Amino acid sequence: AQTVTQSQPEMSVQEAETVTLSCTYDTSENNYYLFWYKQPPSRQMILVIRQEAYKQQNATENRFSVNFQKAAKSFSLKISDSQLGDTAMYFCAFMKHNNNDMRFGAGTRLTVKP
């Protein structure tokens, strides 16, 4: 079974600074997908960024980027130039290739302070 671990229950960052959220996972699979989802206080989850395990290049979406270390089974999210609207729960998630149930970590609550 796949497990996803987020070791930081809460984080805070000053507006305009950079913050990194950690995620590790455990799997015997070689092909899979990793995701970071954001869940603002309104509770609707939205996708932040997606990484395909067979791609060595780290995914980037504007201010959001990942550090994907396949051998270490690590998938951290870096948020640059943090904004107040980034305040939310962030969930790391794993999905096997050709499977569809997504496994989530317990989440990290990020607060961006003005």
Among 20, 52, 58, 73, which residue interacts with other proteins (rule: CB under 8 A)?
A: 52
Q: Which stretch binds other proteins (CB under 8 A): 18-26, 63-71, 76-84, 101-109?
A: 101-109
The DSSP output letter for 38 is E
Q: Which of residues 30-49 bind other proteins (CB under 8 A)?
A: 32-33, 35, 37, 42-47
Stretch that binds other proteins, among 16-24, 70-78, 79-87, 102-110 (CB under 8 A): 102-110
Task: Please give the C-alpha separations between residue 110 and each of 8, 15, 39, 62, 114, in angstroms, as whole numbers.
Answer: 10, 12, 10, 18, 13
Q: What is the 3-state secondary structure (H, E, C) of 27-67?
A: CCCCCEEEEEEEECCCCCCEEEEEEECCCCCCCEECCEEEE
Does 1 sit near other proteins (CB under 8 A)? no
Which residues contact other proteins by CB under 8 A?
A: 4, 32-33, 35, 37, 42-47, 50, 52, 91, 93, 95, 97-107
